[in-house]
Structure 1
Amino acid sequence: MHFKLDNFKPIKSAEIKVNDLTLIFGDNNTGKTYLAYALYGLLSKWGNVALGIEFLDKEQRKSFLGNKQIKINKRDLNKEEILNSLALAYAKTMASEVFLSQSELSPKIQLLNIDFVKNKKIKRQIGQDDWLYLTINEESIEIQIDSEYEIDFRMVNHLILKEIFSVPNIFISVSERLGVSLFQKDLDENTANII
């Protein structure tokens, strides 16, 4: 996965490739912490970012709600358009939710090299006696609802978008912030000895 961020706080442009272990390092006051927190905010709130983004077109949605099941070939999905919608939605909310303020320039985010999940089966309760079944394989995504009642499609759409992409779980540890808290007692003792 590649995450690209432009025009955000001190960051004019930055791109990062997320691996199993990703280290961000560089000179002081260059935006490393902003980049790390922006990436963390996106990946930790992936499901919330997906709210309001349409996964199925109108015809597919109508068919799905009528039949309570649908099978979609992954090749028929516009993955880049979905990712661009996710990036735009996150960029709009990032300044207020992650950082509480922003300059006049709107941040621009790009998500690249994010793949669909290859194999996954999910059974999710979406009501008292209502179930969503999501089966993802190499070629297709199959969605089925077991319910006697009409289902709120926005919730189903949200669950699908949350699960179909291979998004890494993330843990963030900003070293200078962590180091200060770990060694605070030593720092206090050394300061006391100097005085």
Structure 2
Amino acid sequence: MKVTIKKLGKIESCELQLNDLTILVGDNNSGKTYVTYSTYGALKYWRDFINYTSFKELSQEIILNGQINLDKNQIVELSEIALKKESDKFKRRIKELFNDKEKIFDEASLKIKVEQPLTFKDKENKIRVGDNTIFEGSIKDNTLSIIYKTLNKNDLDKNLVREIIGDLFCFMVFDDVIPDPTIITAERLGISLFYKELDERRNSMIESLQNLENKDDNIHPFELIMNMSAYYATPIRDHIAFTRNIDNIKKNSSNVDISYPLEIIKEILGAEFKKENKQDIRFYTRNKRNNKFDIPLYLASSSARCIVDIFFYLKHIAKVGDLLIIDEPESHFTLKNQRLMAKLIASIVNLGIKVFITTHSDFLIKELNNLILLKNDFEEKADWLVKNKKRYTEKDNLDFNSISVYQGINGSLNSLKISNTGIEIPFFDEEINNLFTISSDLDYFIS
């Protein structure tokens, strides 16, 4: 999927291709957050880009006959026009995405280009309208069918039928090429610390409003709710909602083998997380020796609070084809643990889950380069892995072809070079070389 962004904050114009691993680097205030949040928004609200007019004939046919059938060629042909590259609806949504109350993003725009699928997995989906009408969609053997069942054909508006057909078609056809996004924002330290307080304040506010409703007052309490607006951008609100909803999230289990990523998390922290019903998230170790502990998350280290959401995402939500966005994954980690974070990212990518990160960490990039090198075959590889078995296994590798790296600079994004020997980031190298040059000069003068 390709994303093109124009006139968005610091970004004048940029383009990026989402890959299995997408990395954004750049100076502070170079536009990385704008790119990250808008990409998240485009994936979350991708229905804004559905071209419903392209389903006019199909909606007329299904109203007339009660069923439509499309063969593989017809699906491919329709899929080429089913999504618009640019959406006026999403353009209006950008202000909401960033909680822009000052018309800063009035000129902002975003375009998407989605890879066109050529084969289609068997699947089913349905949309119910009221008690009397249902649309049942299915793909089997590269043939798409939608059946329309209703007790009264006069009940449904033709435009609504067209939207339902468009939704069913796009959900089934593009489900495997448009990833479901989950974002772990840079605000995660505060979210993990204060999410319980947010809940308590919300409950207190509701109680106060209920009391207000019982009083003789000209202000209706629910008018206050309608007039309130969030202080946070949509990605931050969604991250808060994720953390507050862990009680429900943990009822599910991810459908991928997350044992190795969880092993790396345990190596980083030396402990694990658990969440009992309606109780605080707890940070604990199974070790029966003297250093055994079991404490609430708010008493845990900042490094634990920075990785807790990744832990619960992997255990209960992760599925192949997802996109996990992590803002500054190295935050609050030692250099050793930044290297382990690189291994964690690689292990998630190798599960078939796409990862999008922003980073300021040269160490994290250098460890990713080691993993790229380990993807190569070389004569001494087996012996080397044996000698370094405490740090690396055969699972620790990255295919450089699956990585895209961009640097935010001068209101745009520059695509950086990457090969089977690693990622080249002059932005980091120049600053490090400058630091060592100064240190060397000063050491020479003193000596």
C-alpha contact 1:69 1:144 (8 A) present in aligned 2: yes
> Could you list the runs of 5+ residues in structure 2 that have no partner in the other structure?
195-297, 303-447
Aligned ranges 1:51-70 → 2 under 5 Å:
53-57=52-56, 59-70=57-68
- Alpha-carbon distance in 1 for matches of 2:118, 2:9: 31
For 1:149, the equivalent position in structure 2 comes to: 152
Residues 84 and 138 of structure 1: is their aligned pair in 2 closer, same or farther, counting only changes over 3 Å?
A: farther
Contact 2:76/2:118 (<8 A) preserved: no
Where 2:76 maps in the other structure, the secondary structure is helix
1:43 aligns with 2:43: yes
Alpha-carbon offset, residue 155 of structure 1: 4.4
Does 1:160 pair with 2:201? no
**CA offsets per residue over residues 24-67 of structure 1, 9 Å max, x none?**
332211111111111111211233x157732413x333222111
Closer, same or farther: CA 135–65 of 1 in aligned 2, 3 Å: same
Runs of 4+ in 1 over 4 A off after TM superposition: 179-187
Amino acid at match of 1:170: P
Distance in structure 1 (CA, Å) of the matches to 2:84 and 2:50:
14
The superposition leaves residues 141-180 of structure 1 with CA deviations (integer Å, 9 ceiling, x where unpaired) of 22111212223414413532551313101111233x3356
Tell me what 1:193 maps to.
none
Counterpart mapping for 1:24-173 below 5 A: 24-47=24-47, 49=48, 53-57=52-56, 59-72=57-70, 73-77=74-78, 79=80, 81-84=81-84, 87-99=86-98, 100=100, 101-103=103-105, 105-115=107-117, 118-119=120-121, 120-137=123-140, 139-150=142-153, 151-152=156-157, 153-160=161-168, 162-163=170-171, 164-166=173-175, 167-173=178-184
The two structures have a TM-score, normalised by structure 1, of: 0.74
CA distance in 1, matches of 2:44, 2:50: 14
Q: Which letter does structure 2 place at the counterpart of 1:24?
A: L
Amino acid at match of 1:8: L
DSSP 3-state at the match of 1:28: coil
What amino acid is the match of 1:54?
T
Q: Within 1, Cα distance between the matches of 2:112 and 2:44?
A: 17
Deviations, residues 79-110 of structure 1 (Å, cap 9, x unaligned)? 2x33225x323542233221223345342413
Q: Could you tell me which amino acid in structure 1 is paired with residue 185 of structure 2? A: V
Q: Which moved more, 1:63-72 or 1:15-24?
A: 15-24
Partner of 1:190: none
Q: Which residue of 2 aligns with 1:178?
A: 188
Residue identity in the other structure for 1:159: D
Residues 16-27 of structure 1: pairs in structure 2 closer than 5 A: 16-27=16-27
1:71 is displaced (CA, Å) by 1.5
Contact 2:38 2:94 in 1 (8 A): no
In 2, are the aligned partners of 1:117 and 1:165 still within 8 Å (CA)?
no
Q: Is the 8 A contact 1:91 1:109 kept in 2?
A: no
CA distance in 1, matches of 2:50, 2:79: 18
- SS of residue in 2 equivalent to 1:7: strand
- Aligned-residue sequence identity (percent) comes to 22
Aligned-partner SS, 1:118: coil
| Alpha-carbon distance in 1 for matches of 2:137, 2:118 | 13
Give the TM-score of the pair, scaled to structure 2: 0.36
Query: Structure 1 unaligned runs (5+)?
Result: 188-195
* C-alpha RMSD over aligned residues: 3.2
Q: In the aligned structure 1, how far is the partner of 2:108 from the partner of 2:63?
A: 37
Structure holding more helix per residue:
2
| Pair 1:25–1:94, CA change in 2 (3 A) | farther
Q: How many residues align structurally?
A: 182
Amino acid paired to 1:27: D
Q: Against the structure 1 CA distance between its residues 10 and 105, is the aligned structure 2 distance closer, same or farther, given a 3 Å change threshold?
A: same
| Contact 2:124 2:138 (8 Å CA) reproduced | yes
Structure 1 letter corresponding to 2:43: L
Once the two structures are TM-superposed, the CA of residue 139 in structure 1 deviates from its matched residue by 3.9
